[in-house]
Amino acid sequence: MEVTLSDDQEFFRETTLRFLTDKSEPDSLRSLQADAHGFDREYWRQGAELGWTSLLISEDHGGGSISGSGVVDMSIVADAFGRHAASGPLISTNVVAAAIDKTGSEAQVADNLDGFISGERIGAWCLSEPAPNDGLGAVTSSALTATADDGNYRLSGVKGPVEAGAQADVLLIVGNTDGAPTQFLVDPTTDGVTIRPLESVDMSRRFAAIEFDDVVVGSDAVLGEVGGARGAIERQLHIACMMQVAEMVGAAERVFDMTVEWAFDRYSFGRPLASYQELKHRFADMKMWLEASHALGTALASELGADSPSTAETASVAKAYCGHYLGELMQDCVQMHGGIGLTSEHDLHLYFRRVAANRATYGTAADHRRRIAAGRLEPGTESEMAA
Amino acid sequence: MSEVESVESFAERSRLWLADSMPRVDPDAYIHGLGSDEAELAFVDRQRQLQRVLFDGGFAGICFPAEYGGQGLSAAHQNVFNIECVGYQMPALINVPTFVPCGAVLLEFGTEEQKQKHIPSMLKGEKLWMQFLSEPSGGSDVAGALTTAVRDGEEWLLNGSKVWTTGAWWSDMGLCLVRTNWDVPKHRGLSVFIIDIADPNIDVQRIEMLNGSREFCQEFLTDVRVPDSDRVGEVDDGWTVGRRWMFHERNAMGGGSPLVSGPGVGHGGAGSGVDPSLVITEAMGRTDDPVALDLIGESLMLRRAATELTKRVGEGMASGAVSDTSAAITRLMNGVVMARNWTIHAELAGSAAVAWESEGPLDGVGVNYLMRQSNSIAGGTVEMARNNISERVLGMPRERTLDKDVAFRDVPKGPPASR
């Protein structure tokens, strides 16, 4: 249920859902599983025309929102994406777009944003790093070193998993400059960059590991200030969490509705599953998890859109709650279906995959629980504590 | 009729008035239900005084109609007041159950005379109300009430027993669900009456809970005479009243009722202040322990999730996007969240939840753990909430019962309850 959308937002939501119902139905999703890139560029350009990539870009840079809050509008798109397990680099491109919009130089804006808005250009945010420096540790303690060298920077280290890493036209890299974080915009074809596609649970979302072997970039590659990217990285993480949560809620609601219907239609011992109290009570718990997740997603989008100081905690609360409970909801829905729920033939896994992909990227539930605690015990140190 | 004051203006006016008129929260204040009878009575008296201050200041019953002494404002006004009054002493005890569900039920089903007579005295803090709903024979099956009213001219004679009435020993009035007809199916033979607890034929006994609290009572009604003018709703149609009564109760338990006023309303059980999980962790010197951090994060996460869920369901019910039965979702959430959080507190406290210094931050953690299920039971069990969600929100088949379409006197019953 949607409680608080305006008429414009409702229209936008319906347009997005109609487009995805047509373009992202189960058969086409299945055909994408074998596709190396996981999405079709022409489809992405059409989506961009609907506004998928312009909502987090300011009007000055050619973007704009439907409702006045691009963040809330973006949560509507992400919810629709989850509901359809839609393909395309939605989170990665929008996070990079928002980052460049916020602190990009004139040249960086000109080189990238028009291309993002038209759907020609794809971005990938290189935050996470392989173990032992994985998860959110890279926020401040990145093992990817960026060493100043005569006006240039030399990047060395490994990033991954990077969403759309092998599809992106530009990489936004979080690096460590003398113990402080700096972000760089790098062309993936630069010498010394090696991109290795990874296997993934998602049908259409692709991840890669990216190795930087003494990659030389000019100082014009720095996004924002050298050593001063912590605030920007935090904000980008909040955007990513907001979108992940909205996608998970959309996907979970789709599967929950599907499973409720199944419980009415499926009979055993002469009764529908929906008549067994043990199962009814589990449906009640799932409904509670779903509504609480939806409520947290709404709160997060609204706080992020308003730049509220409590956004950091709310982002972690929403990600921790949805990451844990929507994962459980999906597993319970599989259980309610029985064996058929584990087959390729059934549609359930299409959406389950999206929840599985989102729950453990950009921080696991446990990572985010620790961030919540750290933020309360020593305000302002969330990112260090997560290392 | 004058124009309704804007929410912003009301918030501003509330802020100024509160700063001027209400005492700040005292961290060492007496905790309701856990002291001597004298301390408890003084506390109740204090609650009445606080309510009177609110009434005289024009801030009592924000969402109650003006003709009965309320302010006649919207839920949005109540919400900003709930935020503004954080940090001030507020008469929480009077809000539930006097305003909700008792006042809410009178507003919905009471006669004009009943509303004129009772609502203003509630809002002034003069009369405190209790619910005479549960019986020793069964908690969740409220419609299976055995307490009986028999008509005697213009009066009724009530006999039976009610239980789990919080603080009936210091309360004034009660709303009482009784059986008026044993020859029809159980839901069709109930009626609701207003009773005066001071009636000498009502014997109020105290119940001691395992944490030492003696707030709950059991009452024995022996030939209690009630005038027919104190009947709420139609004869034998008490279940129509009872269903809404329990909706209001669930809604108050879930923090979603706009007739309830005060800080922490809709905040998942706890009000302002540092979260207990942080206090306990610091007292135990575990702030560097990753396991403790994980538990703190979980605890804060659950509280926030309950708060946001309450907000969402409340807005949905107010706008009509979802039916009132969705209050069961918040009720379930608050039950399971409190149970988990009191477990987390005990986990963080370790052996200090078994044995502790009598005064200090760890006091009560272990006993709270023993009382963990209280919020999963009181106000309708979480199992009933799960039934309601699956049956009324999701439309799943009702549980089969053996008490439908049969005269209540023929419904199978267990042996009489000892209590």
In CATH, what number is assigned to the domain containing residue A142? 2.40.110.10
Q: What is the CATH number of the domain that holds A80?
A: 1.10.540.10
Shortest distance between the Cα of A228 and any Cα of chain B, in A, equals: 27
Are the beta carbons of B290 and A296 separated by less than 8 Å?
no
Q: Mutate which of A242, A283, A291 to test chain B, going by most B C-beta atoms within 10 A? A: A291
**Domain presence at residue A322:** yes
On whether any CB of chain B is under 8 Å from the CB of A366, the answer is: yes
Query: Closest to A1 (Cβ–Cβ): which among B309, B316, B397?
Result: B316
Please report how many Cα atoms fall inside a 13 Å half-sphere around the Cα of residue A209, on the Cβ side.
Answer: 12
Is the separation of the CB atoms in A301 and A223 below 8 Å? Answer: no
Residue with tokens 């023993």: B370
Query: Closest to B389 (Cβ–Cβ): which among A263, A284, A321?
Result: A284
**Domain presence at residue A354:** yes
Q: What is the 8-class DSSP label of residue B23?
A: P
Shortest distance between the Cα of B100 and any Cα of chain A, in A, equals: 24
Q: In this structure, are B159 and B213 located in the same domain?
A: yes
Shortest distance between the Cα of A340 and any Cα of chain B, in A, equals: 22
Q: In this structure, are B60 and B134 located in the same domain?
A: no
Query: Closest to B294 (Cβ–Cβ): which among A260, A321, A369?
Result: A369
Are the beta carbons of B290 and A285 separated by less than 8 Å?
no
The residue from A198, A223, A248 where one domain ends is A223
Q: In this structure, are B35 and B73 located in the same domain?
A: yes
**Domain presence at residue A350:** yes
Q: In this structure, are A239 and A352 located in the same domain?
A: yes
β-bridge mates for residue A197, sequence order: A208
Q: In this structure, are B116 and B146 located in the same domain?
A: no
Q: In this structure, are B214 and B302 located in the same domain?
A: no
Please list, in sequence order, all residues whose beta carbon lies within 8 angstroms of the beta carbon of residue B340, skipping any fewer than 6 positions away.
Answer: B298, B299, B302
pLDDT for the residue numbered B254: 67
**What Cα–Cα distance (Å) separates residue B295 from each residue in A74, B278, B279, B364, B373?**
32, 10, 13, 19, 19
Q: In this structure, are A317 and A373 located in the same domain?
A: yes
**Domain presence at residue A1:** no
For residue B287, which residues of chain A lie inside 8 Å, CB to CB?
377
Q: What is the CATH number of the domain that holds B350?
A: 1.20.140
Are the beta carbons of A3 and B315 separated by less than 8 Å?
yes
pLDDT band for position A133 (cuts 50, 70, 90) = confident
Tell me the pLDDT of chain A averaged across its residues: 93
**How many residue pairs bridge chain A and chain B with CB atoms within 8 Å of each other?**
135
**Residues B360, A372: Cα–Cα separation, whole Å:** 25
Is the separation of the CB atoms in B83 and B33 below 8 Å? Answer: no
pLDDT for the residue numbered B418: 58
Q: In this structure, are A35 and A160 located in the same domain?
A: no
Q: In this structure, are A264 and A364 located in the same domain?
A: yes
Q: Mutate which of B304, B341, B345 to test chain A, going by most A C-beta atoms within 10 A? A: B304
Backbone angles phi, psi at B193, to 5 degrees: -130, 150
Query: Closest to A373 (Cβ–Cβ): which among B296, B304, B313?
Result: B296
Is the separation of the CB atoms in B217 and B205 below 8 Å? Answer: yes
Q: In this structure, are B237 and B281 located in the same domain?
A: no
- Residue-wise pLDDT for B205-230, tens only, equals 999 999 888 889 999 999 999 999 99
**Structure ipTM:** 0.93
Alpha helices in A306-381 (DSSP H): 311-337, 348-359, 365-377
Of A270-279, A315-324, B300-309, B409-418, the poorest mean pLDDT is in B409-418
**Residues A189, A195: Cα–Cα separation, whole Å:** 9
Among candidate residues B207, B218, B81, the one with its CA nearest the CA of residue B137: B218
**Residues B412, B414: Cα–Cα separation, whole Å:** 7
**Domain presence at residue B84:** yes
Q: In this structure, are A188 and A107 located in the same domain?
A: no
On whether any CB of chain B is under 8 Å from the CB of A107, the answer is: no
Are the beta carbons of A296 and B304 separated by less than 8 Å?
yes
Is the separation of the CB atoms in B168 and B408 below 8 Å? Answer: no
**Residues B28, A180: Cα–Cα separation, whole Å:** 45
Query: Closest to A288 (Cβ–Cβ): which among B300, B319, B333?
Result: B333
Q: In this structure, are B307 and B343 located in the same domain?
A: yes
Q: In this structure, are A115 and A11 located in the same domain?
A: yes
Q: Which of the two residues, A34 and B359, has the higher pLDDT score?
A: A34
pLDDT for the residue numbered B30: 75
Q: Which of the two residues, A137 and A358, has the higher pLDDT score?
A: A358
For residue A366, which residues of chain B lie inside 8 Å, CB to CB?
294
Query: What is the 3-state secondary structure of B102-130?
Result: HHHHHHHHCCHHHHHHHHHHHHCCCCCEE
**Domain presence at residue A12:** yes
Share of chain A above pLDDT 70, in %: 95
pLDDT for the residue numbered A312: 96
Q: In this structure, are A141 and A114 located in the same domain?
A: no
pLDDT for the residue numbered A67: 87
Residue of chain A whose alpha carbon sits nearest to that of B387: A281
Residue with tokens 């912003």: B8
Which parts of chain B sit beneath pLDDT 70?
Answer: 1-2, 33-34, 254, 264-273, 417-419
Q: In this structure, are B136 and B208 located in the same domain?
A: yes
Q: What is the CATH number of the domain that holds B193?
A: 2.40.110.10
**Residues B1, A381: Cα–Cα separation, whole Å:** 54
Q: In this structure, are A54 and A116 located in the same domain?
A: yes
**Domain presence at residue B318:** yes
- Residue-wise pLDDT for B92-132, tens only, equals 889 999 999 999 999 999 999 999 999 999 999 999 999 99
Among candidate residues B300, B157, B296, B177, the one with its CA nearest the CA of residue B239: B177
**Domain presence at residue B220:** yes
Q: In this structure, are B199 and B318 located in the same domain?
A: no
Residue A217 has pLDDT above 80, yes or no: yes
Q: Which residues of B199-217 are buried (b: 16+ CB within 10 A; e: fewer)?
A: eeebebeeeeeeeebbbbb
pLDDT for the residue numbered B1: 44
Supply the range of the domain harboring residue A303. 230-385
Shortest distance between the Cα of B284 and any Cα of chain A, in A, equals: 14
Share of chain B above pLDDT 70, in %: 95
pLDDT for the residue numbered B265: 45
Q: In this structure, are A154 and A20 located in the same domain?
A: no
**Residues A277, A273: Cα–Cα separation, whole Å:** 9
Are the beta carbons of B306 and A263 separated by less than 8 Å?
no
Q: What is the CATH number of the domain that holds A306?
A: 1.20.140.10
Mean pLDDT, residues A303-322: 97
**What Cα–Cα distance (Å) separates residue B417 from each residue in A273, A352, B141, B161?**
35, 49, 14, 10
Tokens of B192: 């609701």
Please list, in sequence order, all residues whose beta carbon lies within 8 angstroms of the beta carbon of residue A135, skipping any fewer than 6 positions away.
Answer: A128, A363, A364, A367, A386
Mean pLDDT, residues A285-297: 98
Question: What's the total number of domains in chain A?
Answer: 3
The residue from A188, A223, A258 where one domain ends is A223
pLDDT band for position A383 (cuts 50, 70, 90) = very low
pLDDT for the residue numbered A351: 97
Query: Closest to B294 (Cβ–Cβ): which among A3, A295, A370?
Result: A370
Of A199-203, A279-283, B29-33, the poorest mean pLDDT is in B29-33
Mean pLDDT, residues A188-202: 96
Is the separation of the CB atoms in A78 and A250 below 8 Å? Answer: yes
Query: Closest to B305 (Cβ–Cβ): which among A3, A296, A374?
Result: A296
The residue from A91, A106, A121 where one domain ends is A121
**Domain presence at residue A360:** yes
Q: In this structure, are B121 and B144 located in the same domain?
A: no
pLDDT for the residue numbered A2: 59
Residue of chain A whose alpha carbon sits nearest to that of B322: A1
Q: Mutate which of A268, A275, A288 to test chain B, going by most B C-beta atoms within 10 A? A: A288
**Domain presence at residue B181:** yes
Backbone angles phi, psi at B191, to 5 degrees: -145, 160
Supply the range of the domain harboring residue B324. 266-393
Question: What's the total number of domains in chain B?
Answer: 3
Q: In this structure, are A101 and A148 located in the same domain?
A: no
Q: In this structure, are B45 and B117 located in the same domain?
A: yes
pLDDT for the residue numbered B267: 34
**Domain presence at residue A136:** yes
Shortest distance between the Cα of B291 and any Cα of chain A, in A, equals: 9
**Domain presence at residue A250:** yes
Q: In this structure, are A107 and A186 located in the same domain?
A: no
- Residue-wise pLDDT for A237-262, tens only, equals 999 999 999 999 999 999 999 999 99
**What Cα–Cα distance (Å) separates residue A211 from each residue in A93, A145, A174, A190, B127?**
20, 12, 13, 12, 74
Q: What is the 8-class DSSP label of residue A26?
A: H
pLDDT band for position A381 (cuts 50, 70, 90) = low
Are the beta carbons of B319 and A285 separated by less than 8 Å?
no
Q: In this structure, are A57 and A45 located in the same domain?
A: yes
Q: In this structure, are B59 and B137 located in the same domain?
A: no
Is the separation of the CB atoms in B61 and B73 below 8 Å? Answer: no
pLDDT for the residue numbered B273: 64
